[in-house]
Amino acid sequence: MTPPLAPRRIPRQSRALATRAAILEAAAHIIAGGLAAFNTNAVAARAGVSIGSLYQYFPKKDALMLALIAERQARQVATVAQALAGLPSYDDALEEAGALVAGLLARFPGEIAPTAPEVAARTLPGLVRAVVDIWANCNPPQLDRTEDEAVRAALGYLTCRPG
């Protein structure tokens, strides 16, 4: 027994895939105008197919709605995946940022504590993150102090001379 929302026909050929896509696009257009106007007759008319053809792919209005939601979600997931694919990994970004900070610190050897720039570049992000995490759990106006405290902590670390 087929589930009540399962299609009677699974599109495989390009024409059938185009028909199904046209039905979904018509449904999206009609729903955009409000749910009150959403019915299978209106969708079939907008898609340019017979009501019988619509029911081959979507046996009930609910099946059409679920397919539309699934299709839109798949598009959103693909968009997010594409955006994430273009980003460097967290480790790569951290390594790149660390190299920049180490280079910057190396330019001021007399002004920072005698810590290797590479060591400081790895320590500073953790220090700043700890300060931000502590203050981020607060409410304004305490939250406004986050930046000030992070800067003070970083400068204190960089300028503190051991002993």
Under CATH, to which class is 14-85 assigned? mainly alpha
Report cis status (omega within 30 of 0) of the bond before 125: no
Closest CA to 20 of 29, 10, 30, 28: 10
Tens of pLDDT along 3-37?
677 777 788 899 999 999 999 999 999 998 888 99
Would you say 30 and 42 are in contact if contact means Cβ atoms under 8 Å apart? yes
**pLDDT confidence tier of residue 48, bands split at 50, 70 and 90:** very high
CA–CA gap between residue 147 and residue 32 (Å, rounded): 44
Domain ranges of the chain: 14-85, 90-159
Query: Which pair of structure tokens corresponds to residue 110?
Result: 């007399």
Tens of pLDDT along 114-159?
677 777 777 888 887 887 777 777 776 776 777 777 788 888 888 8
Averaged pLDDT, 51-59: 92
Positive/negative CA dihedral, 45, 49, 54, 57: negative
Closest CA to 47 of 59, 36, 35, 38: 38
